[in-house]
Amino acid sequence: MNAPDTIESPKQRAWVRLRRSSSARTGSTVILCFLLIAVFCQILAPYAPNSRDATVDAPSGPTAKHWLGVDANEKDVLSRVMYGSRLSLFAGLISITFAVSLGAPAGAIAGYFGGWPETIIMRSIDIALAFPSILIALLVATAYKPGWSAVIIAVGLINVPVFARQVRVTVLTIRGLDYVTASRALGASPLHILVRVIVPGIVNPVVVLATMGLGAAILEVAGLSFLGVGGDPTEPEWGSMLAQAKDHLSSSIWPAVGPGVAISLAILGFNLLGDGLRDALDPRLGES
Amino acid sequence: MSGWVKLMQLLCWLTPPAVARYLSVRLFHAVITMVVAVSLIFIAMRMLPGNPLLARFGQHPDAEQMQRIIHEQGWDRPILSQLGQFLHQLVTTGDFGESISRSNENVSDELTRRIPATIELTVVAMLLAVPIGVAFGVAAAVWRNRWPDRLCMAGAMLGVSVPVFFLGICLRAIFTGMPIGFRLPAFEIDFEPITEFYLLDTLLQQRFDLFATAFKHICLPALALSSIPMSIIARITRSSMLEVLGEDFIRTGRAKGASSWGVVLRHALPNAAAPIVNIAGFQIGLLLSGAVLTETVFDWPGMGKYVVDAVRENDYVIVQAGALVIAAIFVTANLVVDLLYLWLDPRVRLS
């Protein structure tokens, strides 16, 4: 039945599934919008992030001049939300890259070699997981010189266990498969097996986790800056904008709506894309 | 001490050896994990640059007075010796010491007031999250790929995506009439707290007016806190139910003429319960230990806010005490969940 030219590789099949998935399409559209806004915010934003408009009595709701209202410092909310997407996306990306590059090798080593490296790695992960992640992040962010780099490192660190655990479990599963045994029987060195035989198998779950992790990281960065850890509060950032709006809630809720909806949409976008990727790359992976 | 021994003997008698062995290994690991974790925090906090006494004395403190307090409290001794004393004092008297940044505040006393606040908030949030989440999940599974499924799952997706601090701000702005900031206004606490759980205390003393007030205070924070566990429970319930609904005994039940809701609720749901219990328990652990953001939005006087404020002031006495309590609650919750899981689904291997 299959003509030779319709035989597809697993990659092509995954790509087709991904393009058919409505959640992946919606998610990637949302993310693309945010990326465009982040890159071109100097052109797109109606005002500079720190320019004040003394003519309105701040904070106030949407007007023709200020579509999302004006915050307590007489600054345009829409412009600040647009500029804020830069920091959020950047911080999320860097911290997840950090988490993957630390967590994935640790998990692979623990899963592949077992023995004392596994004990050390898994025990330290257990210790880290004994605390709620936001508390660890808070400790790290305050311990270090306060600023966005501290927040990024903190968020990266608390995401390390996520990747280490998933990679370890995947490696444990793959290690027992026949093609690994076959390659060992052919005389491949442990390093060769790990890098050339096992690593290709852990790429898919890591990609799925990293996509969802990006949403989580954006949330954690915003949460930390909402708690008052972070850089300069005059810098446009969604979490600190929300914290400031919370203090002036009795006069207007509008300064909170812009950044709040932006955070929610960004997280939603990454969650949807992650769901779509999971279904496309590994239909058996299922929930959680 | 002998009471503990008797209790352990009773437990050993009640539990089969395999479970007992599993339990003792897990307990041992849990204790080691916590001691190491708290020691790490203890040492790390002391190596931080900030000076916690500044919060108490202002930016220009009397140097002599500060030195005296530092010496009195033993904060100038080697870190490891301080750690030893901390652990010794904790095991023998259960006392965490006095706060550094706030004078005359005993950390243990403050924690005994704040832990019930956090537990009460968590319990109310979970009382909202579990039934609603399970109901939505069951509905989604029963009407798979039809509009109730789409609606529930879209809601659940939104629920996990909207940050709890934004949801909290929205709730505060929408329900402006609801009180914020206390569990009960201080002047209204004219009863003797028994359990420090105000909802329970007011009921026990039949002060229904105060119960209503306390309930009003807890409504919004609990609602905000419940959104994420509710969504996660709905998703897990759906996937677990879908798996069970596809099995043979469900078809048999239907073939024998059982009503379709009877099959769903009496046969499918109990068999789908294990993963739901697992995730719900895990979420309880998370909420108990991590209601930091919700407590900040609503100024709820719980443990999370206490520790967060202390981290900012570098008050390591509070941070190490809070961290220990939080870790203990979290680890215990996870252990209880694992045991429940074992009990619900004996097919799980003891490893």
What crossing angle do the helices spanning B17-47 and A133-143 adopt, rounded to 10°? 20
Question: Phi and psi at residue B294, in whole multiples of 5°?
Answer: -60, -45
- B154 chain-A contacts, CB cut-off 8 A: none
Instruction: Measure the CA–CA gap between B168 and B158, rounded to whole angstroms.
Output: 15
Cα angle vertex A207, ends A201, A208, to 5°?
105
Mean pLDDT is lowest, of A180-184, B98-102, B157-161, for B98-102
Q: SS3 helix, strand, coil % of chain A, rounded to 5?
A: 75, 0, 25
Is-contact B179 B219, C-beta < 8 A?
A: no
- A161 chain-B contacts, CB cut-off 8 A: none
- B33 chain-A contacts, CB cut-off 8 A: 123, 126-127, 130
- Are residues B158 and A126, on separate chains, in Cβ contact within 8 Å? no
Domain over A70-271 is classified CATH 1.10.3720.10:
yes
B170 touches chain A (CB under 8 A): yes
**Best residue in B46, B166, B308 for a mutation probing chain A (most A CBs within 10 Å):** B166
Is the predicted pLDDT of residue A6 greater than 70, yes or no? no
**pLDDT given at position B186:** 63
Instruction: Measure the CA–CA gap between A63 and A57, rounded to whole angstroms.
Output: 12
B286 touches chain A (CB under 8 A): yes
Instruction: Measure the CA–CA gap between A258 and B20, rounded to whole angstroms.
Output: 54
Is the predicted pLDDT of residue A114 greater than 90, yes or no? no
**pLDDT given at position A37:** 93
Query: pLDDT > 70: what percent of chain B?
Result: 87
- Are residues B162 and A264, on separate chains, in Cβ contact within 8 Å? yes
Report the chain A residue with the minimal C-alpha distance to residue B236. A287
Closest CA to A121 of A133, A141, A98, A103: A103
**pLDDT given at position A287:** 39
**What's the pTM?**
0.86
- Are residues A131 and B319, on separate chains, in Cβ contact within 8 Å? no
What confidence tens digit (pLDDT) does each residue in B157-194 have?
Answer: 999 999 999 999 999 888 887 877 777 776 666 667 77
**Best residue in B29, B149, B161 for a mutation probing chain A (most A CBs within 10 Å):** B161
Cα angle vertex B170, ends B164, B176, to 5°?
130
Q: Residue ranges of the alpha helices (H) in A56-114? A: 77-113
Q: Where are the domains of chain A?
A: 70-271
- Are residues B292 and A227, on separate chains, in Cβ contact within 8 Å? yes
**pLDDT given at position B216:** 86
**pLDDT given at position B283:** 86
pLDDT band at B33 (very low <50, low <70, confident <90, very high): confident
SS3 B106: strand
pLDDT band at A286 (very low <50, low <70, confident <90, very high): very low
ipTM confidence: 0.87
- B163 chain-A contacts, CB cut-off 8 A: 219, 222-223, 260, 263-264, 267
**pLDDT given at position B134:** 94
- B279 chain-A contacts, CB cut-off 8 A: 288
A135-145 average pLDDT score: 75
Tokens of A270: 């990454």
What confidence tens digit (pLDDT) does each residue in B216-262 have?
Answer: 888 899 999 999 999 999 999 999 999 888 888 888 888 887 778 88
Helix and strand numbers, DSSP H then E, in chain B: 17, 0
